[in-house]
Amino acid sequence: MSHLPFIWAAYTIGTVVLLWCAFAPLVRKRSTIRDIRRLIQIEESNRDTDT
């Protein structure tokens, strides 16, 4: 039995899982920053209409 497919499968799954785990917070950070920008815009436009 060739062991190569098992080695490839183990490293492929390992790489995918660890890459997903590393990039997930970056995606989340981008959407959080977008939300904060939107919040700031709303607050600034409210302040402009008040004055």
Partner 1 sequence: MNTNVAVKDKPRKNALVMFIHKLGSPPWFYNFTGKFIPWLWMIFIVLAAWALYMGLFRAPADYLQGESVRIIYLHVPAAWMSMLIYGSMAVMAFIALVWRIRIVEILAMCSAPIGAAFTIVTLTAGSLWGRPTWGTYWVWDARLTSELVLLFLYLGVIGLYNAIDEPRKAARAACLLAIVGAVNLPIIHYSVKWWNTLHQGSSVSLLGGSSIDASILWPMLIMAFAVKFYYAANLLTRARVRLLEQDVRKGWVKDLVREQRT
Q: Which residues bind partner 1 (CB under 8 A)?
A: 1, 3-4, 6-7, 9-11, 13-14, 17-18, 20-22, 24-26, 28-29, 32-33, 35-37, 39-40
Q: Whole-number minimum distance, CB 14 to partner 1, in Å?
A: 5
Alpha carbons 45 and 51: distance in angstroms, whole number: 10
For the chain, report the end-to-end CA distance as a whole number of angstroms: 78
Q: Whole-number minimum distance, CB 45 to partner 1, in Å?
A: 15
Instruction: Pick between residue 36 and residue 45 the one whose CB is nearest to partner 1.
Output: 36
